[in-house]
Amino acid sequence: MIIELLKVKVPPEQREKYIQNDAEIWTKALAKYPGFLGKEVWINPNDATEIVLVIHWATREDWRTVPQAALEIIDHQFTQAMGEYYPIVESSEYQVRKFPQKPEE
């Protein structure tokens, strides 16, 4: 599994609107692509402006096959819904490695 981690800074008064629009626009659009496994939204309790989006993909290839043109259209729809552009301030990729669970005794 691959994790796409995106961090954005949003004014606290826009945070809930951002999260709702993200679910309605970005998550719905990405869910149509093969390999999209789900998404989590993390809110930093120590920084009211920080939102971390954690997107789960089956493989890196699945993630990278989402067409750039589609991403641009979705981003435009999202910006329109927000009424303002909020840039991603950090973007990372992680590979999930699972290890066997400890047997119960």
Q: What is the pLDDT of residues 3-57, one digit of tens each?
A: 999 999 999 999 999 999 999 999 999 999 999 999 999 999 999 999 999 999 9
- Say which CATH number the domain at 14 has: 3.30.70.100
Q: Does residue 101 fall inside a structural domain?
A: no
Three-state DSSP class for residue 36: strand
Q: What is the pTM of this model?
A: 0.89
Q: Does residue 102 fall inside a structural domain?
A: no
Q: Does residue 75 fall inside a structural domain?
A: yes
SS (H, E, C) 47-86: CCCEEEEEEEECCHHHHHCCCHHHHHHHHHHHHHHHCCCC
Q: Does residue 103 fall inside a structural domain?
A: no
What domain count does the chain have? 1
Please say if the pLDDT value at position 103 is more than 90. Answer: no
Q: Does residue 20 fall inside a structural domain?
A: yes
Domain encompassing residue 63: 2-95
